[in-house]
Structure 1
Amino acid sequence: MASVIKIYALFLGSALLMFGGGLQGLLLSVRGAEEGFSLLSLGLIGTGWSVGFVAGSLFVPLIVRKVGHIRAFSVMAAIGTVTILLNLLLVNDVSWILLRALSGFCFAGAAMIVESWLNEVADNKNRGTVFSIYVTINMAASTMGQLAMSVTGTAGYIPFVVGAISFICAVLPTALTSSPQPRPLQSAKLDLKLLYKTSPVAAIAAFSCGMANGAFGTLAPVYGYEQGLDASGIALLFAIAAILGAVAQVPFGRLSDRIDRRLVLIGLSSFAALVGALTAIINPDAGWAMYVLFAAYGFAANPIYAVAVAHANDFAKDGEFAKIAGGMLLILGTGLAIGPAVASMIMGAWSPVGLFVVTATFHGALAGTAYLRMRVRKSPDASSRAPFQPMSDKQATPESFALDPRADSDADDFPVTRETAVPEELIETVEGDDDVQNGKI
């Protein structure tokens, strides 16, 4: 019973974190457009988040090893809270770009610590269930955060304060825990040569998803605003895209377990490219056509990254999943950082609908690459594949992959269990002992 309570408390902490993140991300794009920020500045706000998130995935584990999980999480939540409040006090583009990077750093760190605790509580029997519930809660909470903007609006201080309350409340489950400290956090491992050798399609898919979905997530709210939607309409627009994207992961993931996953990637990316091209041609006003096109885009684009991770894992050797997934995460982060900046320049030079030229281009390139690779390399038998697992392309961290049940083959890389975890006090008082510093007795 104690373990169950602990898991659901951590789920609550993660939900509060994702709620605040969903609200903040949508709010800054729309409020920035209302404040008259340039398209390039709005794109760089999205770039700042991605740069900060990747930096957090790399460096927060070092901070945790110095001060422990609870203190590090409290620092991340506190700085994240201060950051969103400073967005309210310092309403200018340069400040928001820098603050968004700091927010991404703290968000990555806080999410990794929550995931580390979940990984400690989970075991091989329930890891798949815990991971699935965790991903579902994250997607639902992030969508609810976006929908909250339809209630709070974008004017005044209320939406910023609501986001700050959500961030600071996320600290409670970890601050009140009496369980031993989890194992040290995993930093993302960058081995691009191994990743590309294992699956060129997965590497290209990670970059394409980053470019297309990074641009869409940051600048589609601006497009909606320019087309005449109010805060409530934009929130609903994104909620529909997110919900259909989450729902689509299950059937397309299961389909990819039965057939060549590259066929699924070709179908999804081709459809996403078609939707982007149609949106660029039609350039719909604020009406039903826009909602239909955004829903279709979310349905096609959101499952692509998870299918690509599964495809890479099909060709990975035992013990390589975490390294390959970490490499994909960093490639994805690179695309998420570059995509908004590139799309903002195209939108500024042409028109806001130029955003969908960018998404169509990168999804089309992925479809073509996957088709060509099918002519070069056969797919492994379905019986030898690890099953598909849903995941978000905007919230994954190295700890997400450690929690993923497909990482069981990497058990030697994650040796600490809740029975062998060392309390923080012991780790801090022993110097020079590699076993203790690594969380082993």
Structure 2
Amino acid sequence: MTDATPADRRTTGSLGRDGWIGLLPLLLSAGILLAGNGLLVTLVAVRANLEGFSPQTVGLLGTVYFAGFIGACLITPRLILRAGHIRVFAALASLGAVAALVLVLAIDPLVWLASRALTGFAFAGLATVVESWLNSRAGASERGRVLSVYRIVDLSCVTGGQFLLPAIGAETFAIFAVVAILFCLALLPISLSRQTSPAPPTSPRLDVARIWKLSPVACIGCITIGLTNGAFRTVGPVYAQETALDLEQLALFMSLAIAGGALSQYPLGWLSDRLDRRWVLILASVGAAAAGVWLTVSGGISANVVLAGGFLFGAFAIPLYSLSIAHGNDHAGDADRVELSATLILMYALGATVGPLAASQIMGWFGAPAFFAYTSILHGLFLIFLLYRMTRRAAVPRTRRGRFVALLRTSPAFYQLARRVSGKEK
């Protein structure tokens, strides 16, 4: 057998100082990309509302974004196989920048729909490139730290990106130019890196019927989260505008929801490792439904009440995704986990293609506060399904359950890194 190359040794042992330095370009590119996309998601909803687009059109903008997301999850591995990580990253970053600028050059719903579909494809593809690269470069003894650093990059950059909106304003060309600049800047660290491209990721296999049989709770959970959380990222800013929050408060509202989810992931995950995870899913569903009721009735009270409701909504709603995936993994064998992760993230994306349009239609009929009534109803239905499933299947013994890992809904490649950290892949 031939000796391992330096890159091979890096994936099986400790990264070391040079390895961490080598990861910095990937993490920097990821941070810039996450900041730009997080800003753009909020900006699109705010600017579309200012331009007089109907709530249904705003929801449809979210629907086509996640349709593009699904396409990228399926196609990007083949693109990487054909052209390599760096070329694909460069092409998709350019596509994302063009799509952002088109939004301000042509204020037309059809143009915006096409642009958002392209952006969803570009972002999911870019995330796949970065996360598969991180996955291949992280040494076995360093994966936990790499995962933690990546989550910190995600939280800080997405949260910080929100505050560019009030700093620059939503009504000028400048804010769209900033988004395009961020997409282009994300190109520089990764394209100038001395890292060699790893092997391309494999295309995810999908067998929905088999995964459904494996864990109905995980399937319904991911669909529900797509219907609710996907809609929140798309039309949540419109709710904030309609409840008379200014741009700075709107950015704070979205950031508090993200921060709430980040802060509650680990306490809820710790609890789920020690109890039947379905009880923790029930707790989170009850909390998300209650926070939705709070936000439904609090719009006219005060900005601080709305902001507190946003934090609570994020704290209970956002962890539902990771908890559902963890529950699914409790019922999966080692051979099932890659297919499980790919299928569940695509189930989330399918829910997220429907959620924004459904939520915006409800807002059009009943007003902005009805959005959180919609999320509360869906979380309540998931709660009922959880209670039903507890009568049909016994809890997985604690000795057979894996450790909870907080997950990002960015690409199937992220799960590969998280899976190795949790000890599911040797």
Class of the TM-score when normalised by the shorter of the 2 chains: over 0.9
- Report what 2:83 is aligned to: 67
Post-superposition Cα deviations, 1:370-406, rounded to whole Å, max 9, x if no partner, equal: 11212221222223221111123xx331111122234
* 1:262 shift after superposition: 0.5
Pick the aligned partner of 1:398 from 391, 409, 412: 412
Pick the aligned partner of 1:151 from 167, 171, 182: 167
Q: Evaluate the alpha carbon distance shift between residue 409 and residue 257 of structure 1 in structure 2; reply closer, same or farther with a 3 A threshold.
A: closer
Pick the aligned partner of 1:91 from 81, 84, 107: 107
Question: 2:164, 2:277 → 1: CA distance?
Answer: 36
> Match of 2:118, as an amino acid?
L
TM normalised by structure 1 equals 0.90
* 1:286 shift after superposition: 4.9
> Match of 1:230, as an amino acid?
D
Post-superposition Cα deviations, 1:278-329, rounded to whole Å, max 9, x if no partner, equal: 3324443552211111111111101110011111111111121111111101
How much identity, in percent, do the aligned residues show? 35
> Match of 1:377, as an amino acid?
R
Question: 2:294, 2:212 → 1: CA distance?
Answer: 32
> Match of 2:287, as an amino acid?
F
What is the aligned residue count? 409
* 1:128 shift after superposition: 2.2
Question: 2:414, 2:321 → 1: CA distance?
Answer: 14
> Match of 1:399, as an amino acid?
A
- Report what 2:145 is aligned to: 129
Question: 1:283, 1:83 → 2: CA distance?
Answer: 33
* 1:179 shift after superposition: 2.6
Structure 1's consecutive aligned runs of 4 or more residues displaced over 6 angstroms after TM superposition are none
Matched, 1:81 2:75: no
> Match of 1:290, as an amino acid?
V
Matched, 1:231 2:236: no
- Report what 1:315 is aligned to: 331
Question: 2:25, 2:201 → 1: CA distance?
Answer: 20
- Report what 1:220 is aligned to: 236
Q: Evaluate the alpha carbon distance shift between residue 67 and residue 91 of structure 1 in structure 2; reply closer, same or farther with a 3 A threshold.
A: same
> Match of 2:36, as an amino acid?
G
Matched, 1:200 2:216: yes
- Report what 2:185 is aligned to: 169
Aligned partners of 2:419 and 2:425 also within 8 Å? no
Question: 1:81, 1:44 → 2: CA distance?
Answer: 21
Question: 2:89, 2:25 → 1: CA distance?
Answer: 15
Matched, 1:49 2:43: no
Pick the aligned partner of 1:248 from 264, 282, 295: 264
Q: Evaluate the alpha carbon distance shift between residue 164 and residue 295 of structure 1 in structure 2; reply closer, same or farther with a 3 A threshold.
A: same
Aligned partners of 1:321 and 1:410 also within 8 Å? no
Aligned partners of 2:298 and 2:306 also within 8 Å? no
* 1:366 shift after superposition: 1.1
Post-superposition Cα deviations, 1:232-252, rounded to whole Å, max 9, x if no partner, equal: 110011111111111110111
Question: 1:304, 1:63 → 2: CA distance?
Answer: 32
Root mean square deviation of aligned Cα: 1.5
**Uncovered stretches (5+) of structure 2, i.e. residues with no partner:** 1-16
Aligned partners of 2:101 and 2:177 also within 8 Å? yes
- Report what 1:422 is aligned to: none
- Report what 2:27 is aligned to: 11
> Match of 1:266, as an amino acid?
I
* 1:133 shift after superposition: 1.9
Secondary structure of the equivalent of 1:319? helix
Question: 1:14, 1:354 → 2: CA distance?
Answer: 35
Post-superposition Cα deviations, 1:115-136, rounded to whole Å, max 9, x if no partner, equal: 1211111122222221222123
* 1:194 shift after superposition: 2.1
